[in-house]
Structure 1
Amino acid sequence: MLQIKHQFQSFEEYLSYDDGTDKLYELFNGELIEMPPESGINVEIATFLLIQFASFLGYKRVRGHGLELEVRGEPRNRYPDLTIIREEHIQQLAQRNTIRLTMLPPLLVIEVVSPGELQRHRDFIAKRIQYQDCGIPEYWIIDPEAKTVLVLELTGNTYTESGNFAGDDLVVSPQFSQLNLQVSQIFDAVEKDGI
């Protein structure tokens, strides 16, 4: 990751920054950290799920990796692999694809775990804490290595494990009961594409 030297005093100052590129940055201790491109597997899984959710929610409610979430702690923002937004977010995100802490949280965020211990810790622990703190009702952690989908549901102020699904298990979403998806379909779609 490339670090861009510029000290931001607030998240609002960061939001007004434009370097003229489409690069994504995390704001960490006031400095920008450029996000590396996603792996092919992560993109394939997120795209497959985007299509599944868009089939019954419509494409405007399903956002890919470019959606930014303001969070508490460090870094100050995250870019989930897939986010299901609320109807009111569509208009709120028309100018900038950022959900602020002052807005209602999205309904669901999905992260696809990248290889490596640092990435596993980030998705299973650090992001879990930040998304829980934001009040996001549902968080999925998709693990291509273990071929599992962990579904976490916000109960009170804490995520509880709604299910850890594998193989031909149906992924049970507390919020999206109309989803009819087996874990094997997610990983078969990736393997069929040769990734």
Structure 2
Amino acid sequence: MAYGKRETEGVATLADIEALPEGVVGEIIDGTLYVHAQPRPGHMDILGGLHAVLWSQFQQGRSGPGGWWIQVEPGIELEDSPEFIPDIAGWRKERIARLPATSWRLAPDWACEILSPSTRGYDQRIKRPFYARIGIRHLWFIDLESRTLTVSELREGRWTELGVYGDDDVVRAAPFEEVELRLGELWPLVEPSDAR
């Protein structure tokens, strides 16, 4: 199942997401409900691996500087978009001192999307400009098919690409430059697929 718009009566609400069938993920961006299939194992493996590295070093401060909240698939509620879910997102603790009791109501400082054949267009055409509009400063796209990490930074309302990195690269990528990431250790050992 590729991503797609789901027709709703009027502006989409959380009730529309709750009514989705099992195995279908929904997000509301600018009042429109978008749906896609749940992620596959390779997607979840790289998600878990990247989260583990960043959570340990940037949230917990183990062998790293700390100072961040790093969350997997956080539910974020903003005024015009009552539910959207980056694959991974981070907030600087200087902006928000404690984890929220329910949903995040503040755009993150960093977001990461893991591209797959079924969500690549959605992440690039819908979420990327949306993330710029709401002021997310740093955006990573991880492409499982090409085994690359694309790092972008928001400058004057537009995305500036800071670099594209691959298998053997050891990188210090904004906003987490304090720690080296060995990309080859993150890629899952799965067969390439045409579906998420």
Question: If the TM-score is normalised by the length of the shorter chain, which range does it land in?
Answer: 0.7 to 0.9
CA separation in 1, counterparts of 2:172 and 2:164?
9
The size of the alignment, in residue pairs, is 180
CA separation in 1, counterparts of 2:6 and 2:131?
26
Question: Which residue of 1 is the match for residue 64 of structure 2?
Answer: none
Give the CA RMSD over aligned residues.
3.5
Pairing 1:37–2:38 present: yes
Q: How does 1:142-161 map to 2 (within 5 A)?
A: 142-161=142-161
Question: Which residue of 1 is the match for residue 101 of structure 2?
Answer: 94
Q: What's the CA shift string for 1:68-113, capped at 9, x where partnerless?
A: 35486xx7643111001232446362122x33xxx3x312100001
Going from structure 1 to structure 2, the CA distance change for 1:157 and 1:3 (only over 3 Å counts) comes to closer
Q: How does 1:1-195 map to 2 (within 5 A)?
A: 7=9, 9=11, 14=13, 19=18, 24-27=25-28, 32=33, 35-58=36-59, 61-68=69-76, 70=78, 77-87=83-93, 88-89=95-96, 91=98, 93-96=100-103, 98-99=104-105, 103=106, 105-116=107-118, 119-187=119-187, 190-191=188-189
Greater RCO, 1 or 2 (C-alpha within 8 Å, sep 6+): 2
Structure 1 unmatched runs, 5+: none
Q: What's the CA shift string for 1:19-65, capped at 9, x where partnerless?
A: 59998532368575555311111111111011111111226711101
Structure 2 unmatched runs, 5+: 61-67
SS in 1 for 2:37: coil
Matched residue type, 1:80: P
SS in 1 for 2:170: coil
Going from structure 1 to structure 2, the CA distance change for 1:159 and 1:39 (only over 3 Å counts) comes to same
Q: Which has the higher strand share?
A: 2
CA separation in 2, counterparts of 1:18 and 1:145?
29
SS in 1 for 2:181: coil
CA separation in 1, counterparts of 2:18 and 2:34?
13
CA separation in 2, counterparts of 1:52 and 1:147?
18
In the superposition, the TM-score normalised over structure 1's length comes to 0.74
In the superposition, the TM-score normalised over structure 2's length comes to 0.73
CA separation in 2, counterparts of 1:120 and 1:95?
29
Matched residue type, 1:67: G
Task: Report % sequence identity.
Answer: 22
Give the drift of 1:180.
Answer: 1.1
SS in 2 for 1:91: coil
CA separation in 2, counterparts of 1:115 and 1:37?
13
